[in-house]
Structure 1
Amino acid sequence: MISSQQLGERLADARKRAKLTQAQVADRLGLARTTVVAIEKGERRPSNADLVKLSDVLAISVHDLLREGHVRAEPSPRFRVGSGNKMAAGIAEAVERLRAHGARYVELERLHGLRRAPAPLETLQTYRVDLIDESGLDPRLAGEEAARALRGMLGLGDEPALALDDRFESEAGLRIFYLDHLPPKVSAFLIWSDDVGASVAINRAHPPERQRWSLAHELGHFLRDREAGDILDEDVSLRHVSEIFPESFAKEFLLPAAGVQKRFTERCRSGKFTPVDLSALARAFEVSFQAMALRLEELRLLPSGSYEKIVRGKLRPQDLGRHQRTDEPRATPGLGLPDRYIKLAVSAYDQELLSESEFAEYLATDVATARAVYQAKHRILLDDGSQIPVDFSGADLRTA
């Protein structure tokens, strides 16, 4: 059982995240303010009935308040959501969801005796904003240089960068989650806490190509100034000084000039380059048709205005019923959780470290869906068709 002081700290944290005063909480519970103060200080332990009421008022589960391995994982004080409008409120709620996901990721690791070690890119200081500013290097050029350097570190050369989630989790330590119900104009955001490291939320309703670009953009912010975090919002101009480096980084990382030129040349061997070729090139690099077209214009491989010319010749709205729509947002399948996160939860449930309800809570879903996830993820398939259980608590394979 956790101590009264630990419980008080968690209640205080939850109250502050809910933007409530001690007096407001006391009023909703029908208690004296001095009683709430004593509870938060650990001088008084709330009754079970009061604890249930507190969890309801503070929008936090009793399980989260009482579990032994709870991780606080507060975002860096330098991260700011803003206030005063509906979008800010929506982002604040999403930031809390991301914070909770990141904290639970660490809790799952601790259940298996694992600890978070700094990832290789966490120690990379070369592209920190203070060093770039001191050197006087153009942030656009710095972003391109960082992308080329990172591509070299990952052994990508000039080839398309694929499987970004796995790469960025292992190399940068990013904990990447795909969230529903974000404001439509918010593509992604990044927060940092000392306990968790960097957590990134990607808008789950956006098309996969846009999600990849958003993820690469957030990695740029991670390299530039991770503790300040970022909210990638369409209403914020990408020409703003703080956005130039990450946007330049994303462009060169996903669409490296040399690699694009090479693939473009190969496509031109038939004697011409058509919209079909442009679409194939976009698919090869897993970016949008528009992003590829504008990149080819920027590299002077296509005349300026080519994309606008293509757009003018697109299908009329009345014709769309006869063709498959490809420009509508597509939700990312699954739970939107990292694969390793899910397997950690499955392994913990397999070993009875989590109850069924706790397992479902970690997966942020209902019990029926959690059972289906367990059936799909609780075994590793071997080449001969046999299976072994997922177990992060097993022996280290590096030892004899």
Structure 2
Amino acid sequence: MNFEHTEDRRMLADTLDRFVAGQCPMETRNAIAYGSAGMSGALWGQFAELGAIGALFPEADGGFGGAGFDIAVVFEALGRGLVVEPFLGALLVGRALGAVGTPAQKERIASLIDGSTVAALAHDEPGSHYELARVATQAVRKGQGWVLSGAKAVVVQGGAAQLLLVSARTAGAVDSEDGMSLFLVPADAPGVERRGYARIDGGGAADITFTNVELGPDALLGTESQGLATLELAVGWGVLALCAEALGAMEVAKKDTLEYLQTRKQFGVPIGSFQALQHRMADLLLEVEQARSAVINAAAAMDGERLARERALSAAKFTIGRIGALVSEESIQMHGGIGMTWELPLSHYAKRLVMIDHQLGDEDHHLARYMALGQPG
């Protein structure tokens, strides 16, 4: 099987790499990431003009990509630059809209692609422990519409979002696989309250409460009480994106560490000449290649049947979680004390790699999920 990217994808990766390096060097990135907004609206608009958001969606939804390898190419480039703009929210919400949205709802994808709308998935709740089916937020009928009440936690870029995709229970027990529905909620709707805060790895998040939020009938996305399959599919695209982003960050951490070993001298020679460090670096290179293989496998499985797709995604997320932590630890240790300093980009890559493990299910969660899914038929 040929795993070489197509010419179009290589051009997209090169374009994104040049753009991020030129427009968002580490000093600029950190000013944006740790600033009050946690993102740059101007930079987000430039990414849209560049076509980076459109590459996340198929032609049927107004994009020009949308395959697993398209998502991987974009997010690997974003990972190399530690970009904090809301690509993940656009992907999660846009793919859910594309999967089950009405024609009117699908029209919203255009505003995601052109960058005029920032979207976020509001699903995780306190105590949910990454389980997609565990939803306590309630949506009850009121006439032809709905009334939404509940709370969501750590909504990535939830403070900047104008459109929220919210999971809510319309039937069944709190952890039932049936009875969960998805709703499109304007972030400024009466009854929506957001408490925004900065993430440790840069960018923003928010805890959001919904107090008797009244929604029209067109707010329901897909079939009532059958939202789990759509959520699983959308989150699957998000898992692939995070794995590719982590791979991009690992590549930079690996490269920077290798350069440091070749230039830092001790006893009059580069420390990279010490056999113990050579062995550690060789092990690290092999682990990063294993992570790349896991991302390739997940990207290739996105158009396959559900069980094989979900197993490949959980295998990749588990692998990325384990190797991401290893790359962070080894890179910092081989740099010595300077590896922990704010001024060195490596410290920011390490933080992002560790935090990616906790988004959309951590290493332990996906290992258990992989085992529970069993062998594909």
Q: TM-score, normalised by structure 2?
A: 0.24
Structure ranking higher on relative contact order (CA contacts 8 Å, 6+ apart):
2
**Bigger radius of gyration among the two:** 1
